[in-house]
Structure 1
Amino acid sequence: MSFSTQDSDEVLSEMNVTPLVDVMLVLLVVFIVTAPLMTNAIKVNLPKTDAVAPAEKKDPLVVSVDQDGKFYLAKNQLEPELLEASLKQAKAADSEVRVQLQADTAVNYGQVAKAMAAIERSGITKIAVMTSR
């Protein structure tokens, strides 16, 4: 800590942080004391209910593209032009339909892109692209 003398016209450039530290410590103590009180502010007796079975999850619709570029919908081979129409029918039957896209590693990317475009045009928004570890 430096002391200034009466003779010197220099300005003391050090800031005194002790009051700032005091204020911060007081605020910390206040928050530590009041935080537990805020979580238990209102006591409520919640009603009891019977256990409800979770909604049955439907299996996703599987779209596959094999190494020859052939399209399959749930293990049934389809022509590429019919894939979109079949997916639209599935979407009409169940608005929450989910699709898993499986493609062979040897397949041309263009075939995978066609399958993804058909899924998108059919209006299905829940899609998962499957991979193996």
Structure 2
Amino acid sequence: MAMSGGSDDGEPMMEMNTTPLIDVMLVLLIMFIITIPVQTHAVKIDLPQDSPPQDVVVEPVKNKLIVDTNDTISWNGTPVSQAQLAGILAQTRNMDPEPELQFQPDARARYQIVDEVLVVIKRSGVTKLGFVGNEQYGSFQKAPGK
């Protein structure tokens, strides 16, 4: 251990230089961290699948999907969640021939909900999709008498 020079009064300093000790401890800490095996903790849980409600009717020709002003999604008049909608759309996709899906969002429904429903429809792979009730989105109406 090295002794450093003294102070102004000429006496030697009797303190140990701890810098090399700290350097060695840091190197040992890094080596210890590198050699620790990666811990992988996994908890296997069987989550329940959200299946279509039992009272949902899937018509063979056309089905109507409505988003109302309360942001409720309805399949042929029966309220469903987005997860249930994905299951129903998968069921219709497997039908031969595939029934037409008529999508009718209310003009006062939140855009976010309508957009999420459209994403569910797109991901399901539905090929027969029609928008119903587009006249409610008209930006102007004819004046009376014209």
Q: TM-score when scaled to structure 2?
A: 0.48
* Aligned equivalents of 1:132, 1:125: Cα separation in 2: 20
* Aligned equivalents of 1:75, 1:107: Cα separation in 2: 16
Contact 1:97-1:124 within 8 A present in 2 as well: no
**1:95: Cα distance to partner?**
4.5
Compare the two structures and name the one with the higher helix fraction: 1
What amino acid is aligned across from residue 119 of structure 2 in structure 1?
A
Contact 2:92-2:98 within 8 A present in 1 as well: no
Query: Using a 3 Å threshold, how does the CA distance of structure 1 residues 95 and 120 change in structure 2: closer, same or farther?
Result: farther
Higher relative contact order (CA 8 A, sep 6+): 1
Query: Using a 3 Å threshold, how does the CA distance of structure 1 residues 82 and 61 change in structure 2: closer, same or farther?
Result: same
* Aligned equivalents of 1:62, 1:85: Cα separation in 2: 15
Alignment of 1:32-111 (within 5 A): 59-111=61-113
1:113 counterpart (112, 115, 132) = 115
Kindly report structure 1 stretches of 4+ aligned residues shifted beyond 3 Å.
none
**1:73: Cα distance to partner?**
0.8
Q: Describe the SS at the equivalent of 1:84.
A: helix
**1:122: Cα distance to partner?**
1.2
Number of equivalences: 76
Q: State the identity %.
A: 24
Unaligned runs of 5+ residues in structure 2 are 1-59, 136-146
* Aligned equivalents of 2:90, 2:97: Cα separation in 1: 10
**1:65: Cα distance to partner?**
0.5
Contact 1:62-1:74 within 8 A present in 2 as well: yes
Unaligned runs of 5+ residues in structure 1 are 1-57
